[in-house]
Structure 1
Amino acid sequence: MTPDELITISIESGSDNLFEDIGFTPEEAASLKIKSDLALKLRQHLEEQRLDSDEITQFFGSNAIKIEDIIEGELDRFTIEELVALLLHIGLQVKVEISPLV
């Protein structure tokens, strides 16, 4: 390609759910987004607390390995219920918001 050639890039607006935008069904996308949001809050809280691996192990005990997996984005092994339980364990409240589809 020479410098004189133009590159055309098409940009499309997406929804508020990346998972739906990349081809998951609306039901799958909603579940994946919930899991992702829960894991993100857990990760953010741990980063804010500046916990190292030893402190995570001490605080979470046998769940410490799970926490490391979540931090690394390995969410396929976790249910929404497990993520909620971990958030409650660290003192965070989980609320559910339901609204009409747009």
Structure 2
Amino acid sequence: MRMNEACLKMLLDPTLWLWATAFTVVSIGGGALIGWYKGRMTVGIIWAAVLGPLGWIIVAFFKSNLAACPECSKGNRPGARTCRHCAVDLEQATARSARSRLRGAKNDSR
């Protein structure tokens, strides 16, 4: 019976719960940061909350959810109007790229 009392005393120790809470908060913060960088912040938070630092590794290997700029090919948040890297208007650049592809197809068929 003494072993059970010792285990219970250790599990109810506030210092243990403080460390566990701090570890969980830091893990979730790291997962959110990695997920934000990949454009998948919610996924990063969930994986980090469930697996801690192992979740960071999983999220780091996920494919990026950022849309590529047609001009510079760097990632931008979904729904962005301008590229944060080269400041080009993404809607116009996308339309211009589509027209260029159509022109190229016409010239190839001649």
Q: Which has the larger radius of gyration?
A: 2
Larger relative contact order (CA 8 Å, sep ≥ 6): 1
Normalised by the length of structure 2, the TM-score is 0.33
Normalised by the length of structure 1, the TM-score is 0.35
